[in-house]
């Protein structure tokens, strides 16, 4: 079963949290026959995932697939695995989500290209959540490259946002802002308001990291005040959290506190626990600023427990750093240093360099304040080594990206050459306009031609001729003869339809448009064909030719072999004209004779009335050069 992009995209986008996609598609209108039942089940999972109702999604998943979700031998199975991973992720089971995606890596290579992008995308997000930022960047760049290669601009814009987030976490807000602005420009050009909203939130975050707090405040407040279309509930939470950070930076503490309280109130209405962590961070910071250090430590501990439950170990370390700061201010310097040292050491192998460096700077300062200069120097060396590694990894990533693009370019050139060969072959065996339609994706073509001239030519005595020659000699003789006829047909702007054994069928045109001199051109072809026997190399081959004109049906039938053909009474009569003609002669019907009569280059001679099988007695004519 091949999943089409226009079906895959709504399901994967719903699984990625786009609720408007989930509720604007009919899960039963998928055209998948027996496989459609699985698609409908997936929709029953995707819709609650889109609404962040993960418990409900898991109930639906277990009801639909039970414990036997091992359907990875096809695209639908991979989509089932992706759904399961999204549920695990939403319920905080990040490692299980990653394990689920790792289980389909071997099947992914032959999967639908949109599924490949979706799985790499989801893996990138999951790796980011556990702090494996190098792996996250690798997966996201693969997904972005697939989106770029297939001109999926909306997906590429969203992936630029994901990549920018990694730049933020690795301490490069300038690159992040450039990536965000690129994504925002693409989304606006496409008129995608929802995507633009998501990107602008991140632009505001980058502004904050670059100390452009007033710009960030203005941007977030504009988004919150907009009435049409309104922000989705979960996106509104994101804006509120970012605005609260900005308000703190601008020392508008009471406004920030009100915003954090509003976010925590939303938790009871189903907002994600990560939102609660950020709100608790903010309230703890405000409590510390107000001198209520025990309350600050309590709020931080509450957020740390949530992060532990969700396996967000980078967040755990970041919170412990904040707790150490509070302990220090409470005068518990030994406890603060111990906790800070643990958090810094735990982050040494993490890709969250922004957090690691922040902890390192804090630890260094407090060690100096405690007089432990040797330990402070060791921490400083570790931080400098980490900074050096950031630049080294950036260089390696640039080289890898260049290599990937080189491979993509090579593959694209190979595909282009194969497509050129395919197009050339199609044009060699089919009329040009029919080849173009088949190459554009049509599989069955049928047209009615109101008036078309048809010619049949047959080699006289070819059966006995072939009986006395080797197969190679027969093929060479036919090839030489039919190539000569092809040249004649092309010279007179006519069209070859096909060869059948030692017979050749041609027409004046395969286009529906009226062809005023079509009969004349095809008659000239017939005369030139009879002249071939005068050439020494072809003197042993003589043609018998017949022609008729009238309406016909042309087209291509789908099947294992593509073949263009022509059907109808006109074709049958033209064939009868050839069958009852004489060697070296061209026999035509009344309609052909009448069309040629005004032309002095032709001699039209009436033949005695003949009996044509299936048509009775017909008056026919010979045509010759004048």
Instruction: Express each pLDDT in 439-489 by its tens digit.
Output: 766 767 888 888 999 999 999 888 888 888 888 888 888 888 899 999 999
- Position 626 pLDDT exceeds 50: yes
Cα 409–143–352 angle (5° rounding)? 120
Backbone angles phi, psi at 359, to 5 degrees: -65, -40
Question: Do residues 42 and 11 touch, judged by C-beta distance below 8 A?
Answer: yes
537-583 residue pLDDT tens: 777 788 999 999 999 998 887 665 677 889 999 999 999 999 999 99
How far CA 206 is from CA of 130, 210, 215, 306, 560, in Å, comes to 22, 6, 10, 26, 56
- At residue 67, the pLDDT reads 55
Q: Which domains does the chain have, with CATH numbers?
A: 7-149 (1.25.40.10), 152-250 (1.25.40.10), 287-409 (1.25.40.10), 441-625 (3.30.70.1230)
Give the 3-state secondary structure percentages of the chain, helix then strand then coil, rounded to 5: 65, 10, 25
Q: Cis omega (within 30 of 0) on the bond before 229?
A: yes
User: How far is Cα 511 from Cα 508, in angstroms, rounded to an integer?
Assistant: 9
Distance from the Cα of residue 159 to its chain's centroid: 13
Confidence of residue 47 (pLDDT cuts 50, 70, 90): confident
| Torsional sign, CA 262, 263, 264, 270 | positive
- Let me know: does 438 contact 430? Beta carbons within 8 Å: yes
Please enumerate in sequence order all residues whose Cβ is within 8 A of that of 272, keeping only pairs 6 or more positions apart, or say none: 52, 90, 234
The per-residue DSSP string of 310-321 comes to TT-HHHHHHHHH
For residue 306, the surrounding DSSP H or E stretch is helix 293-309
pLDDT at 172 over 50: yes
Residue 85 · residue 100 · CB < 8 Å: yes
- Closest CA relative to residue 65, chosen from 53, 82, 89: 82
Hey, which residues does 587 pair with through a beta bridge? Answer: 546, 622
Pairing mode, strands 610-612 and 564-567: unpaired
pLDDT at residue 4, as a whole number: 40
Q: Are 577 and 455 in contact (CB under 8 A)?
A: no
As a residue count, the chain comes to: 626
Alpha-carbon gap, residue 161 to 597, rounded angstroms: 75
Instruction: State how far Cα 178 lies from the chain centre.
Output: 24
Which residue from 465, 428, 452 is spatially nearest to 543, judged by alpha carbons?
465
Q: Give the C-alpha separation, 318 to 359, whole Å.
A: 7
pLDDT at 267 over 70: no
Nearest to 504 by CA among 493, 517, 495: 495
Question: How much of the chain exceeds pLDDT 90, in percent?
Answer: 27
- Nearest by Cα to 483 from 421, 428, 432: 428
Average pLDDT, rounded, for the chain: 82
* Segment 69-103, tens digit of pLDDT: 444 446 777 888 888 888 888 887 888 888 888 88
> What dihedral angle (degrees, nearest 10) is formed by the CA atoms of 157, 162, 168, 170?
-130
Cα 623 to Cα 603: distance, rounded to the nearest angstrom: 6
Q: What are phi and psi of 198, to 5 degrees?
A: -60, -40
**Dihedral sign, Cα of residue 328, residue 334, residue 339, residue 340:** positive
pLDDT-derived band at 22, boundaries 50, 70, 90: very low
Dump strand ranges (E) for 212-365: none
pLDDT in tens, 395-437: 665 666 566 666 656 766 776 777 777 777 776 667 777 877 7
- The segment with the largest mean pLDDT, out of 39-43, 63-67, 504-508, is 504-508
Confidence label for 32 from pLDDT (cuts 50, 70 and 90):
very low
Contact at 8 Å (CB) between 50 and 86?
no
Q: What is the mean predicted confidence (pLDDT) over 245-250?
A: 92
* pTM beyond cutoff 0.85: no
Element at 127 (helix H, strand E):
helix 113-129
């Amino acid at each position: 079963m091949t999943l089409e992009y226009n079906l895959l995209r709504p399901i994967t986008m719903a699984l990625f949290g786009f609720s408007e996609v989930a509720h604007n598609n009919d899960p039963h209108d998928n055209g998948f026959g027996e496989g459609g039942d699985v698609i409908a089940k997936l929709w029953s999972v995707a819709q609650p995932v889109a609404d962040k109702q993960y418990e409900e999604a898991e109930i639906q998943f277990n009801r639909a697939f039970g414990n036997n979700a091992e359907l990875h031998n096809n695209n639908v199975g991979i989509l089932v695995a992706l759904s399961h991973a999204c549920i695990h992720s939403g319920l905080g089971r990040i490692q299980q989500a990653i394990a689920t995606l790792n289980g389909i890596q071997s099947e992914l290579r032959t999967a639908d290209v949109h599924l490949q992008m979706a799985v790499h995308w989801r893996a990138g997000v999951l790796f980011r959540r556990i702090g494996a930022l190098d792996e996250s960047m690798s997966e996201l760049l693969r997904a972005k490259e697939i989106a770029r290669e297939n001109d999926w601009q909306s997906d590429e814009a969203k992936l630029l946002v994901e990549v920018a987030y990694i730049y933020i976490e690795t301490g490069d807000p300038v690159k992040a802002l450039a990536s965000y602005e690129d994504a925002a420009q693409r989304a606006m050009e496409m008129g995608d308001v929802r995507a633009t909203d998501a990107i602008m939130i991140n632009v505001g975050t980058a502004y904050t990291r670059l100390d452009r707090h007033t710009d960030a405040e203005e941007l977030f407040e504009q988004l919150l005040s907009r009435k049409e279309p309104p922000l989705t509930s979960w996106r509104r939470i994101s804006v509120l959290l970012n605005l609260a950070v900005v308000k703190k930076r601008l020392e508008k503490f009471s406004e920030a506190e009100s915003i954090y309280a509003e976010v925590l109130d939303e938790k009871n209405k189903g907002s994600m626990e990560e939102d609660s962590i950020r709100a608790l961070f903010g309230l703890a910071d405000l409590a510390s600023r107000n001198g209520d250090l025990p309350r600050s430590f309590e709020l931080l501990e509450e957020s740390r427990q949530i992060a532990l439950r969700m396996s967000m170990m980078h967040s755990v370390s970041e919170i412990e750093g904040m707790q150490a700061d509070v302990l220090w201010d409470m005068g518990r310097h030994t406890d603060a240093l111990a906790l800070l040292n643990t958090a810094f050491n735990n982050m040494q192998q993490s890709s969250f360099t922004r957090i690691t460096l922040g902890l390192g700077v804090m630890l260094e300062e407090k060690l100096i304040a405690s007089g432990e200069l040797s330990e402070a120097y060791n921490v400083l060396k570790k931080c400098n080594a980490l900074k050096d590694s950031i630049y080294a990894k950036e260089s390696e990533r640039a080289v890898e990206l260049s290599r990937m693009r080189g491979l993509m370019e090579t593959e694209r050139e190979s595909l282009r050459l194969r497509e050129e060969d395919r197009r050339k072959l199609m044009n060699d065996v089919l009329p040009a306009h029919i080849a173009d339609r088949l190459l554009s994706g049509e599989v069955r073509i049928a047209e009615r031609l109101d008036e078309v001239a048809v010619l049949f030519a047959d080699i006289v005595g070819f059966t006995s001729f072939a009986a006395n020659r080797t197969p190679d000699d027969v093929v060479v003789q036919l090839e030489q003869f039919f190539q000569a006829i092809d040249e004649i047909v092309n010279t007179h702007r006519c069209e070859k339809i096909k060869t059948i054994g030692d017979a050749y069928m041609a027409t004046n045109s395969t286009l529906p448009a009226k062809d005023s001199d079509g009969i004349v051109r095809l008659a000239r072809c017939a005369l030139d064909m009879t002249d071939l026997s005068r050439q020494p190399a072809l003197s042993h081959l003589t043609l018998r030719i017949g022609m008729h004109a009238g309406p016909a049906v042309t087209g291509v039938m789908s099947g294992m072999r593509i073949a263009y053909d022509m059907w109808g009474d006109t074709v049958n009569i033209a064939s009868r004209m050839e069958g009852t003609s004489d060697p070296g002669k061209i026999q035509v019907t009344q309609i052909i004779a009448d069309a040629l009569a005004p032309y002095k280059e032709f001699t039209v001679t009436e033949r005695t009335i003949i009996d044509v099988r299936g048509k009775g007695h017909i008056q026919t004519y010979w045509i010759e050069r004048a």
